Amino acid sequence: MGNETQNAGTAGGRGGGSLVQSVDRAVTVLAILARHGEAGVTEIAEELGVHKSTAFRLVGALEQRDLVEQTADRGKYQLAYGIVRLAGAASAQLEITRESRAVCQQLAEESGEGVNIAVLDRGEAINVSQIRALRSVSAYNWVGQRTPLHATSSGKVLLAFESPERGRELISGGLERFTDHTVCDVRELQAELERVRERGWSSTTEELEVGLNAIACPVYGAEGEVVAALSISGPSYRLSTDVFPQLARVVGEAAAEVSARIERRA
pLDDT the model gives residue 62: 93
pLDDT the model gives residue 5: 36
Distance of CA 236 to the CA centre of its chain: 26
Nearest alpha carbon to residue 210 among 188, 177, 252? 177
Q: Residue 52 — φ and ψ, nearest 5°?
A: -60, -35
- Cβ pair 92, 223 in contact under 8 A: no
Beta strands in 132-208 (DSSP E): 146-147, 202-205
Q: Give the domain ranges of the chain.
A: 21-85, 94-264
User: Measuring CA to CA, how many Å separate 140 from each of 80, 122, 137?
Assistant: 39, 23, 9
CB 49: neighbour CB atoms within 10 A?
Answer: 10
pLDDT the model gives residue 122: 80
pLDDT the model gives residue 4: 37
pLDDT the model gives residue 57: 92
Query: Candidates 2.10.10.90, 3.10.20.30, 3.30.450.40, 3.40.640.10; correct CATH number of 94-264?
Result: 3.30.450.40
Beta strands in the chain (DSSP E): 39-40, 68-70, 76-79, 114-121, 124-131, 146-147, 202-205, 212-220, 226-235
145/129 Cα distance (integer angstroms):
10
Residues whose CB is less than 8 angstroms from the CB of residue 101 and which lie 6 or more positions away in sequence, other chains included:
129, 131
Instruction: Kindly report, residue by residue over 202-221, the tens digit of the pLDDT.
Output: 999 999 999 999 999 999 98
Instruction: Kindly report, residue by residue over 2-42, the tens digit of the pLDDT.
Output: 443 334 344 444 455 677 888 889 999 999 998 888 899 99
- Cβ pair 134, 111 in contact under 8 A: no
173/189 Cα distance (integer angstroms):
14
Query: Candidates 3.30.420.60, 1.10.10.10, 1.20.1260.10, 3.40.50.300; correct CATH number of 21-85?
Result: 1.10.10.10
pTM above 0.75, yes or no: no
pLDDT the model gives residue 12: 44
72/92 Cα distance (integer angstroms):
31
| Residue segments in the chain with a per-residue pLDDT below the cut of 70 | 1-17, 73, 81, 84-94, 134-140, 142, 266
Distance of CA 246 to the CA centre of its chain: 28
User: Measuring CA to CA, how many Å separate 71 from each of 89, 108, 139?
Assistant: 25, 51, 51
pLDDT the model gives residue 87: 63
CB 62: neighbour CB atoms within 10 A?
Answer: 22
Strand, helix or coil for residue 23 = helix
